[in-house]
Amino acid sequence: MQRRDLDRERSERKLTLPVFLETYNEGLPEGFPRASIAFLEKFKAVFPALFKKDGSWSLDQHRKKVMDWLPAHVKSLEV
């Protein structure tokens, strides 16, 4: 009998923007820039191809990309 992979299910689950934001910021290393709704909306505008299907977010598809993108853009996105 095969066991359910709960981590994989959690990573692949489709999330709304607010839920992704909360989950993304959870457990980030200290000193790493935290995401905000404004940052994530800008990310979505810059990478629309990542959201073609239904506009939802997932940890599996988006977390690493946001982590790579955000530090280089956080200063230019601050208001």
Does the pLDDT value for residue 49 go beyond 90?
A: yes
The more confident residue out of 34 and 79 is 34
CA distance 43 to 46: 5
What pLDDT sits at residue 29?
Answer: 87
Q: How many helices (H) and strands (E) does the chain have?
A: 4, 0
